[in-house]
Amino acid sequence: MTYWLFKISDQDSYPDRPGSEYVYNNTHSVRVAGGDEFIYLKKRRTQYGLAGAGRVSRVTERSTDGRERRTPKVSRLFTAHLSDVVWFPRLFDLSARTKAGRRNRVLMGLPGDLNSIGWSISMPRIERDLFVHLLDAALDSSFQVRTPAAQMNEADWRVDDAWSLVKRRSRMRAFRAIVLSRHEHTCVVCGTQLRSVLDAAHIRSYSSDKSQRANPANGICLCSYCHAAYDFGDITILPDGGLKCSGDVHDEIALKHFTAVSPQDRRRWLLGIENQFLLDHLTESPIKRLETGKSDKGLRN
């Protein structure tokens, strides 16, 4: 699978159908294929940023007619047929002319001159890690504008492994936005509000139930430290706000971490969580599965 930037500009050579088809000719050296994924890079007037993302379902080709043959080298037109397209409610600004754009470039680890990494060509190929980084940032920025808390229902909770990366991450970033907002960006275990370390953790593990992967009632705000301890089974959160700690935990720093919040405060923060998921965690952690002879590779999201 390959990842691309598809450009939307005022100088489009061929009549694309944004969200449906992306057209290019044989003078491009790129080879787009079904299953590839893309992010739309919008470049119009003063706008320069990420507008949406999706998947290429298939690619077709045909001969050009006289009007489409812009140069003697143009002989074939290719059409990438698109699916799973997600439009960002707000352009994720990457313009060098704006404060937000310059800040986003720094946060994304992009250079001041994007031409230096090949973004000057019509269809730049990008690495998967950068694709995910850009996609997540654009989705997070979008959910700050349009909070999806009241828009999800049971049909929106399922996330299949076979789905496109764009579709899976779009649904999971909505889950993340709801969970962190509901808990007021506070770790339910230790109380930290440092946003750079906060995760939307799954109570019933991501790997165990595809139908509940994006269910906000199956999510809890934890810092990365508490998240790792929770997933491993070092700690378990009870419906009454109590915290059950494994007998193997004797580390002084860890114990300070796990006793920083009172059960009463934690209980207040558990609003919106399904109690049954919390109870399921008592028997689902890796340590408990070993004790009962069960096994599960698990998946951190």
Output the average pLDDT for the chain. 87
228 phi, psi to nearest 5 deg: -60, -45
Higher pLDDT, 33 or 286: 33
**Encoded tokens for 12:** 């489009």
Distance CA 117, CA 125 (A): 10
Give the pLDDT confidence score for residue 144 in this predicted structure.
62
pLDDT digits (tens, 9 = 90+) for 256-286: 999 999 999 999 999 899 999 999 888 776 5
Q: Does the domain spanning 3-145 belong to CATH 1.10.10?
A: no
- Our CA angle for 69, 72, 75, nearest 5°, is 55
208 three-class SS: coil
Interatomic CA distance for residues 268 and 265, integer angstroms: 5
Confidence (pLDDT) at 301: 38
What integer pLDDT is reported at residue 31 of this predicted model?
86
Q: Is residue 239's pLDDT more than 50? A: yes
**pLDDT at 230 > cutoff 60:** yes
pLDDT confidence of residue 264? 95
Q: Flag the least confident range among 37-51, 136-150, 196-210.
A: 136-150
- Residues in the chain, total: 301
Q: Quick check: 157 pLDDT over 70?
A: yes
294, pLDDT greater than 70 = no
| Model pLDDT, residue 69 | 63
Q: pLDDT over 90 for what percent of the chain? A: 64
CB 234 within 8 A of CB 254: yes
Q: What is the pLDDT confidence band of residue 21, given thresholds at 50, 70 and 90?
A: very high
The confidence band for 299, taking pLDDT boundaries of 50, 70 and 90, is very low
Predicted pLDDT at 70 = 66
Q: Report the candidate in 84, 83, 87, 79 with the shortest Cα–Cα distance to residue 22.
A: 79
82-95: pLDDT as tens digits: 999 999 989 999 99
Residues near 196 by beta carbon (within 8 Å), at least 6 away in sequence? none
Looking at residue 134, its pLDDT comes to 97
CATH 3.10.590 in the chain: give the residue spans.
3-145
Least-confidence region, from 52-66, 124-138, 221-235, 282-296: 282-296
Q: What is the pTM of this model?
A: 0.82
Q: Which one has a higher pLDDT value, 4 or 17?
A: 4
* Structure tokens, 133: 């980084």
Tell me what the mean pLDDT of segment 17-25 comes to. Answer: 89
Q: Give the Cα separation of 250 and 130 in Å (integer).
A: 39
